[in-house]
Amino acid sequence: MAYTTNVIVAIVTVAPEKISAGTIPIFYEDSLEEAEQTALTVSRITRGVVHSLENGVLIIAKH
Q: Where are the domains of the chain?
A: 7-62
Q: What pLDDT tens digit does each residue of the chain (63 aa) get?
A: 566 679 999 999 999 999 998 899 999 999 999 999 999 999 999 999 999 999 999 999 998
CA distance 2 to 54: 33
- DSSP of 38-63, one letter per residue? HHHHHHHHHT-EEEE-SSSEEEEEE-
- Give the number of C-alpha atoms closer than 13 A to the C-alpha of residue 42, restricted to the C-beta side: 24
